[in-house]
Structure 1
Amino acid sequence: MTDAPIYYHEYLLRSGVALNAASVRRVFAGALICVNGGYGCVHPWPEFGDAPVEEQLRLLSEGVTTPVTAMALRCAELDGEARRAGVSLFEGLEIPRSHYSWSFATDTEAQMERVLAEGWPAIKAKGFANYGETTRFLEGCAKRFETQGVRLRVDFNGVLDRLTFGKFIEFMPLRVYRALDFVEDPFPYNAEAWEAVRQKWGVKLALDKGWKDGTQGFDAVVVKPARRDWRTVAETHPQQPLVLTSAMDHAFGQMFAAYEAAVALSEGQALDFCGLCTEHLFEKDEFFERVTSHGGCLSADRSGGGLGFGDVLEGLPWRRL
Structure 2
Amino acid sequence: MENLTYNSPVLQLESLIVSEQSLYPTFLFFLIVYVLIMVSNIGIMLLITMERSLHEPMYFLFCNLPFNDVFGNSVVVPRLMMDMIRPASEHYISYIECITQAFCYHIYTCASHTILMAMAFDRYVAICNPLHYTTIMTNRMVAKLTASAWGVALLLVVILLGLIIRLNRCGTLIANLFCDNASLYKLSCEIAYINNVYGLVYTGAVTGSSLGTIGFTYSRIAAVCVTNKSKTLNSKALKTCSTHLTVYVFMWLSGFFLTIFHRFTGVADYRKGAALLLHIGPGILNPLIYALQCTEIRHGILKILHSKKVMP
Relative to the length of structure 2, the TM-score reads 0.27
**Greater strand fraction, Structure 1 or Structure 2:** 1
Bigger Cα Rg: 2
More relative contact order, 1 or 2 (CA 8 Å, 6+ apart): 2
